[in-house]
């Protein structure tokens, strides 16, 4: 599943994790302070500004902040590009695998785009603050802002949204090709071992369909996981800073960094509830694929052999399909009760947490919007398992089926469930 596409997959993913941690820790520990010395922004006339003079007016402060943000962003992108170039270059040279250009370079590009999209989300969160503060100012004092100021804010959002949409569309196009290359690598590998795996129930389906679904789901879950981690890195400091506006929580009282505390606590509760409620689903999904494959295979044999696919046999196989589906539906019933109940209750959690601060008038509308958006981003990142549980269940069932292929190829005993479904060719 992985060796056909990635060079030395265990070492590859382990080295990526370690390298990512080193780069992130290095940035926050020291590297971000070296921008004024090492940044290439000076080549384009962008320098880190000197300290802001005391008593500067609002326009000067805004200009200073804009110049500082631009210089900081250039240095950050320069650092990220260097980190990616070192990791990808090393693996392309060291890996020496047929699909390395797609698996290594492609994976690096997907990770970079995911990080970029998170940065755009941070920019949108900042826009929320300034835009809704402008709205509050206009509503509280008529004609205190001009129509030009209002539309300038809208055009700013349109520009950010255009970049986000363009990158998302191009990324979706690239990911489609990436997934198909991964499927091709698995397909070619399993097809070359056909004589060793042909006796396994549903062998044709496992090569034709399961390889495609496995590559697609792993890529989707991988991107979601990376997005969750990067969103945490980007928004947790934002939520940490915004927690200064929330001094106490209802029913609890004063809590340091209250918003971060609530986001973590609520996410742990949801993950635990969903894990308990859905613990039987992976096994049921796997069994469902088995009974479906047995029924489909009998029908295929019936196309070429008159003694196969008899009504009594088909009725027996379809009864197994029906029983498993009804069992699956019953389990998903209480799973979805827990899942949707938790997600809907989550809408109220930040509003409840902000209750005392809202009543005390400690928040502006802009700050409220920034807190609400940042809280949702952090909460959503912590809820990766909650939001992905049904997809993980499907992936686990496919993984079990493909592991039987690898067991046969490596001359190892098949899983018990597959031993019971081996059929003799007619």
| 26-66 residue pLDDT tens | 888 888 888 777 777 766 666 677 666 666 666 666 666 66
Q: Which of 298-302, 368-372, 414-418 shows the lowest mean pLDDT across its residues?
A: 414-418
Which pLDDT belongs to residue 62? Answer: 66
Tokens representing residue 199 in the block:
């006796």
Which pLDDT belongs to residue 56? Answer: 61
Instruction: Work out the pLDDT band at 423, boundaries 50, 70, 90.
Output: very low
Helix (H) or strand (E) holding 248: strand 248-249
In this model, does residue 319 exceed pLDDT 70?
yes
7: left (phi over 0), alpha (psi -120 to 50) or beta: beta
d(CA 34, CA 21): 19
d(CA 148, CA 303): 72
Residue 159, phi then psi, degrees to nearest 5:
-65, -45
Tokens representing residue 323 in the block:
């029983």
Tokens representing residue 258 in the block:
């209250």
Is 81 inside a domain boundary? Answer: no
Spatial neighbors of 359 by CB under 8 A, at least 6 apart, are none
Closest CA to 353 of 236, 272, 265: 265
Which pLDDT belongs to residue 177? Answer: 84
192: left (phi over 0), alpha (psi -120 to 50) or beta: alpha
Is 379 inside a domain boundary? Answer: no
Is 332 inside a domain boundary? Answer: yes
d(CA 213, CA 69): 42
Q: Which of 224-228, 283-287, 404-408 shows the lowest mean pLDDT across its residues?
A: 404-408
Q: Where are the beta strands (DSSP E) in 44-183?
A: none
More confident of the two residues 291 and 41: 291
Is 373 inside a domain boundary? Answer: no
| 76-118 residue pLDDT tens | 888 888 888 888 888 888 766 678 788 888 888 888 888 888 8
Average pLDDT rounded to a whole number, residues 137-166: 86
d(CA 72, CA 36): 9
More confident of the two residues 152 and 294: 152
Which pLDDT belongs to residue 426? Answer: 41
Spatial neighbors of 146 by CB under 8 A, at least 6 apart, are none
Is 143 inside a domain boundary? Answer: no
Helix (H) or strand (E) holding 55: none
In this model, does residue 375 exceed pLDDT 60?
yes
In this model, does residue 245 exceed pLDDT 60?
yes
Which pLDDT belongs to residue 303? Answer: 76
Average pLDDT rounded to a whole number, residues 407-420: 60
In this model, does residue 362 exceed pLDDT 50?
yes
Is 266 inside a domain boundary? Answer: yes
d(CA 187, CA 2): 12
Residue 354, phi then psi, degrees to nearest 5:
-85, -5
Tokens representing residue 307 in the block:
């003694």
Is 308 inside a domain boundary? Answer: yes
In this model, does residue 424 exceed pLDDT 80?
no
What 3-state DSSP class applies to 47? coil
Average pLDDT rounded to a whole number, residues 294-305: 78
Domain count, the chain: 1
- Count helices and strands in the chain by DSSP H and E runs: 16, 2
Quick one: DSSP state of residue 142?
T
Which pLDDT belongs to residue 60? Answer: 67
Q: What is the mean pLDDT of the chain?
A: 78
Which pLDDT belongs to residue 415? Answer: 56
Maximum separation of any 2 CA atoms in the chain, in Å: 94
Positive or negative torsion for Cα 159, 161, 167, 173: negative
Percent of the chain with pLDDT over 90: 0
Residue 99, phi then psi, degrees to nearest 5:
-100, 20
Give the up-direction half-sphere exposure of residue 124: CA atoms within 13 A in the CB hemisphere.
18
In this model, does residue 275 exceed pLDDT 80?
no
Closest CA to 235 of 334, 335, 125: 125
Is 208 inside a domain boundary? Answer: no
More confident of the two residues 352 and 399: 352
Which pLDDT belongs to residue 134? Answer: 84
Residue 286 structural domain: 253-362
In this model, does residue 297 exceed pLDDT 80?
no
Spatial neighbors of 320 by CB under 8 A, at least 6 apart, are 291, 294, 295
């Amino acid at each position: 599943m992985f060796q056909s596409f990635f060079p030395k997959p265990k070492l590859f993913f382990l080295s990526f994790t370690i390298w990512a941690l080193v780069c992130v820790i290095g940035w926050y520990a020291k590297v971000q302070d070296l921008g004024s010395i090492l940044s290439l922004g000076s080549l384009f006339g962008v320098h880190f500004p000197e300290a802001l003079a005391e008593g500067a007016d609002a326009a000067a402060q805004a200009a200073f902040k804009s110049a500082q943000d631009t210089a900081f962003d250039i240095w950050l992108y320069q650092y990220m590009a260097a980190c990616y170039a070192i990791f990808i270059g090393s693996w392309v040279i060291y890996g020496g695998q047929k699909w390395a250009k797609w698996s290594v370079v492609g994976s690096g590009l997907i990770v970079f785009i995911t990080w970029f999209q998170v940065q755009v989300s941070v920019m949108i969160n900042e826009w929320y603050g300034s835009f809704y503060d402008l709205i509050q100012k206009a509503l509280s004092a008529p004609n205190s802002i001009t129509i030009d100021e209002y539309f300038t804010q809208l055009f700013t959002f349109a520009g950010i949204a255009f970049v986000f949409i363009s990158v998302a569309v191009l990324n979706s196009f690239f990911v489609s090709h990436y997934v198909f290359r991964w499927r091709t690598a698995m397909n070619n590998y399993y097809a070359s071992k056909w004589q060793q795996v042909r006796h396994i129930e549903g062998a044709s389906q496992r090569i034709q369909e399961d390889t495609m679904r496995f590559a697609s789901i792993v890529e989707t879950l991988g991107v979601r996981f990376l997005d969750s981690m990067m969103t945490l890195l980007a928004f947790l400091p934002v939520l940490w800073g915004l927690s200064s506006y929330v001094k106490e929580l209802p029913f609890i009282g004063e809590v340091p960094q209250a918003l971060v505390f609530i986001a973590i606590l609520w996410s742990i509760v949801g993950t635990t509830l969903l894990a308990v409620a859905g613990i039987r689903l992976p096994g049921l999904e796997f069994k469902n694929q088995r009974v479906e494959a047995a029924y489909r295979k009998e029908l295929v044999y019936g196309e070429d052999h008159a003694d196969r696919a008899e009504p009594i046999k088909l009725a027996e196989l379809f009864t197994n399909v029906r029983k498993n589906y009804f069992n699956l539906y019953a389990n998903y019933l209480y799973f979805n009760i827990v899942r949707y109940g938790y997600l809907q209750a989550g809408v109220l959690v930040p509003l409840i947490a902000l209750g005392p601060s809202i009543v005390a008038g400690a928040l502006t509308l802009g700050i409220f919007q920034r807190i609400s958006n940042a809280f949702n981003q952090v909460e959503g990142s912590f809820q990766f398992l909650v939001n992905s549980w049904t997809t993980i269940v499907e992936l686990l069932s496919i993984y079990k089926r493909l592991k039987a292929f690898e067991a046969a190829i490596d001359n190892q005993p098949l899983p018990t469930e597959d031993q019971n479904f081996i059929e003799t060719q007619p």
